[in-house]
Amino acid sequence: MSANSSTLGQRLWQGPVCAGWKQDMEGALYHLANCVLLLGFMGGSGVYGCFYLFGFLGTGYVCYVLWGWFNACGLDIVIWNFLLAMACLLQLAHLVYRLRKDTLPEEFDLLYKTLCVPLQVPMQAYKEIVRCCEEQVLTLATEQTYAVEGETPINRLSLLLSGRVRVSQDGQFLHYIFPYQFMDSPEWESLPPSEEGVFQVTLTAETPCSYISWPRKSLHLLLAKERYISRLFSVLLGYDISEKLYALNEKLFAKFGLCFDIRLPSLYHVLGSAASDAGPESEKEDEEVHEPAPAPPQAMPTPVQHMPPCSPLPAATHPPAQPSRARMSRPDSDGLGEDSTSLVLEDFEEVSGSESFMDYRSDGEYMR
């Protein structure tokens, strides 16, 4: 053991046992090969870094093959470097195949950059989502319906890619659906996976539209298997539904002249029912209330006809009739003819019009 260690030490410290050093330098191919290998080992990571690395390594090994064939005249040098060069070429071919396989259609690539890149969604998870919809882009012509109220079953979830879709109910316009918004997110969230239902609204394309659609069962299986994708869809669907609710809130503001908050309890559905039930009679009554009395003799028949306290039944139902008439004379409450609507509006006006501003908490109490 000591003899072997002493022999190794002599070889390391005493220099190589050579008959003589070559006086001339190697050819230009040898030095070119080393320079190319040096550049190749400076490559980075990732797919394009691998392209850089194996491209320069393959070129350097090819230079070694030429040097061994023309200058060194060594068969072993030629064979080894040829094998290394072929390994680099095969690796480059594998990278090209992976890039072509991972390439998405233009619509799906734009969808990924618009929705998923801001959320830092991995490409592998996005491919699972795209694979679930079979990479198919569907189209709608102008005035073609995507869903009919009370007829179309809820069996899919769709996302609009281009165009504009009109949402209506009983012939009344509700809101629009714009690109990169879900077309049936409320139906998806309101219906459990084990139940079946039909659309409560009608969706009509106002312009030529394109969209992608996930089958309901396939998407539920994917969400049950992939927890990350399930959370991603939960975030996207929640944001989409909130946008639709605020679109309806803006519609109420434009119709009634008041900016109602959809977070107020028992206000949104009351306003919706009042808007459909209020007819020309309520508008006529409001106009008569707003008209000023021109003369005292003509002002007497008007309270007799329209004053609820004079008749026994309205007086028994609503004793404080005078305050209610005062509030109904406001121009901001046109079209709200039902008693329940007026009561809600009275509470809303008292809260919003008081000198000390009141905040509504989630537990149902008003706090100063």
What confidence score (pLDDT) does residue 304 get?
Answer: 39
Q: How confident is the model at residue 357 (pLDDT cuts 50, 70, 90)?
A: very low
Share of the chain above pLDDT 70, in %: 62
The pLDDT of residue 322: 41
Span 262-286, average pLDDT: 46
pLDDT in the model for residue 103: 77
Instruction: pLDDT band for 245, please (50, 70, 90 cuts).
Output: confident
3-state secondary structure 176-231: EECCCCECCHHHHHHCCCCCCCECCCEEEECCCEEEEEEEHHHHHHHHHHCHHHHH
CA distance 197 to 193: 10
Coil vs helix vs strand at 303? helix
Mean pLDDT of 260-271: 45
Note whether 120 and 68 are within 8 A (CB).
no
The whole-chain average pLDDT of the chain stands at 74
User: What does the pLDDT read at residue 181?
Assistant: 94
pLDDT of residue 147 exceeding 70 = yes
DSSP state of 292: P
pLDDT at residue 52, rounded to an integer: 92
Q: How many other CB atoms sit within 10 Å of the CB of residue 345?
A: 23
**Alpha-carbon distances of 213 from 134, 238, 270, rounded to whole Å:** 9, 18, 34
Average pLDDT over residues 175-183: 93
* Contact status, residue 367 vs residue 358, Cβ threshold 8 Å: yes
User: Using one digit for the tens of pLDDT, what is the confidence trace for 59-99?
Assistant: 999 999 999 998 888 899 999 999 999 999 999 999 998 88
pLDDT over 70 (residue 318):
no
Burial of 159 (0-12, 13-18, 19+ CB in 10 A): buried
Helix ranges (H only) for 14-74 are 28-40, 46-67
Low-confidence winner among 53-57, 204-208, 244-248 (lowest mean pLDDT): 244-248
Between strands 138-140 and 145-147, the pairing is unpaired
Residue, of 176 and 303, whose pLDDT is higher:
176
Query: Which whole number is the average pLDDT over 116-144?
Result: 91
The better pLDDT of the pair 335, 211 is held by 211
